[in-house]
């Protein structure tokens, strides 16, 4: 069988032991945290387009239809979904490869093999994935991180959910296993986003992901560009919560559960499960309506 390359190499950068940072659309990214973190990282330096993966082989274009651009009825072009690799440099000089774009619909194993081969060819020393999921956490407390990792030490460095859990996986988990299989460290850094803001931008989680990346990779990407967004979102949420006694009570209950969870983690106790927590559906709906009105 003849092997078919799944990527086109545009440029072979001169890199010194880069990390591979993975943040692909299509899987869980509550609050748009990973996407916003990558935007911030890219804005902090110049990037070079290294490779483009074969969209025809990897993507389902009936599910991800291209965007048609019309001007006075004239078809002026199409924008297609893509999965790409770029190179950038952290302020402290650490080389970073960014795998961004769309998570493949097909050929996951072949894609993972291609990414691994390209990463090895470019001298990668570590793979890190970014993501975020809804959690029973209040916006009044710091965003917590959890990890999936190739070793206990790496998971403990970021933070972990103790216990056993089986969940659907994204392509980052496949890449994590591929890297671990050849002895390279791999970790998924996950931000826990308050469930009632999971459907809107939550920049505090993006900042926390960058901090987690810096911790495990030795990079020094800043989060100052997110400060204004974080403050504005906090003010908006506080205003809405304070206008409804039921919302205030819900946040207090979430705060108590959050604090108890931290105490349990400090005491090395299992943190899966727990008591019944309040639903944030009504608050989420009011928040989205409030933010729409602010934009009008």
pLDDT digits 0-9 by tens, 213-236: 999 999 999 999 999 999 999 999
Confidence of residue 296 (pLDDT cuts 50, 70, 90): very low
DSSP of 52-121, one letter per residue? EE-HHHH--TTTSPPEEEEETTEEEEEE---EEEEEEE-TTS-EEEEEEEEPPSS-HHHHHHHHHHHHHH
Cβ–Cβ under 8 Å, residues 288 and 199: yes
Band of the pLDDT at 43, cuts 50, 70, 90? very high
Whole-number mean pLDDT of the chain? 89
Please give the average per-residue pLDDT across 249-257, as a whole number: 91
Give the pLDDT score at 214: 98
Look up the pTM and report it. Answer: 0.89
- Residue 30, pLDDT > 90, answer yes
Averaged pLDDT for residues 279-295: 61
Q: What confidence tier does 265 reach under pLDDT thresholds 50, 70, 90?
A: low
- pLDDT at position 3 is 42
Asked whether 105 and 59 are in contact (CB, 8 A), the reply is: yes
| pLDDT band for position 29 (cuts 50, 70, 90) | very high
Q: What CATH number labels 7-223? A: 3.40.50.10900
Q: Which two tokens stand for residue 180?
A: 């671990």
- The residues spanned by each domain of the chain are 7-223
Task: Give the confidence band of 275 by pLDDT, cuts at 50, 70, 90.
Answer: very low
pLDDT at 104: 98
Mean pLDDT of the region 129-155: 91
What's the pLDDT band for 145 if we cut at 50, 70, 90?
very high
Q: SS3 breakdown of the chain: % helix, strand, coil, rounded to 5?
A: 40, 25, 35
Res 264 pLDDT > 80: no
Question: Residues 16, 28: contact at Cβ < 8 Å?
Answer: no
User: How far is CA 250 from each of CA 121, 137, 264, rounded to the nearest angstrom?
Assistant: 51, 11, 21
Q: What is the pLDDT of residues 83-105, one digit of tens each?
A: 999 999 999 999 999 999 999 99
Query: How far apart, in whole angstroms, are the C-alpha atoms of residue 53 and residue 206?
Result: 26
d(CA 86, CA 96): 8
How far is 118 from 116, CA to CA, in rounded Å?
5
Model pLDDT for residues 159-217, shown as the tens digit of each residue = 766 667 788 899 999 999 999 999 999 999 999 999 999 999 999 999 999 999 999 99
Q: Please, which pLDDT band fits residue 266 given cuts at 50, 70 and 90?
A: low
Lowest mean pLDDT, pick from 5-19, 52-66, 273-287: 273-287
pLDDT surpassing 70 at residue 279: no
Phi, psi of 226, rounded to the nearest 5 degrees: -95, -10
What's the pLDDT score for residue 188?
95
Phi-psi region of 154 (alpha: psi -120 to 50; beta: other; left: phi over 0): alpha
What is the per-residue pLDDT for 101? Answer: 97
CB-based contact 270:264 (threshold 8 Å):
yes
Mean pLDDT on 139-145:
95
């Amino acid at each position: 069988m003849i092997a078919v390359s799944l990527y086109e190499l545009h440029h072979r950068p001169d890199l010194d032991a880069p990390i591979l940072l993975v943040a692909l659309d299509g899987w869980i990214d509550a609050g748009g945290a990973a996407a916003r973190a990558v935007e911030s990282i890219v804005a902090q330096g110049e990037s070079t387009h290294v490779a483009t993966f074969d969209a025809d082989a990897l993507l389902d274009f009936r599910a991800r239809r291209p965007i048609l651009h019309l001007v006075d009825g004239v078809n002026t072009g199409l924008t297609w979904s893509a999965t790409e690799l770029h190179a950038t440099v952290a302020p402290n000089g650490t080389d970073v490869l960014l795998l961004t774009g769309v998570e493949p619909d097909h050929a996951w194993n072949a894609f993972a093999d291609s990414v691994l081969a390209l990463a090895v060819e470019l001298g990668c020393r570590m793979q890190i994935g970014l993501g975020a999921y809804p959690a029973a956490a209040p916006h009044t407390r710091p965003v917590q991180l959890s990890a999936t990792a190739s070793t206990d030490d790496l998971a403990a460095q970021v933070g972990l959910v103790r216990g056993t859990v089986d969940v659907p996986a994204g392509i980052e988990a496949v890449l994590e296993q591929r890297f671990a299989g050849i002895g390279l460290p791999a970790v998924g850094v996950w931000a826990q986003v308050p469930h009632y803001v999971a459907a809107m931008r939550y920049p505090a989680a993006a900042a926390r992901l960058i901090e987690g990346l810096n911790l495990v990779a030795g990079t020094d990407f800043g989060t100052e560009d997110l400060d204004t967004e974080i403050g504005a979102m906090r003010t908006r949420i506080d205003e809405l919560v304070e206008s409804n006694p039921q919302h205030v009570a819900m946040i207090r209950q979430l705060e108590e559960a959050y604090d108890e969870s931290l105490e349990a983690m400090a005491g090395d106790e299992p943190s899966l499960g727990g008591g019944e927590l309040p639903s944030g559906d009504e608050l989420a709906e009011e928040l989205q309506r409030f933010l729409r009105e602010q934009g009008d």
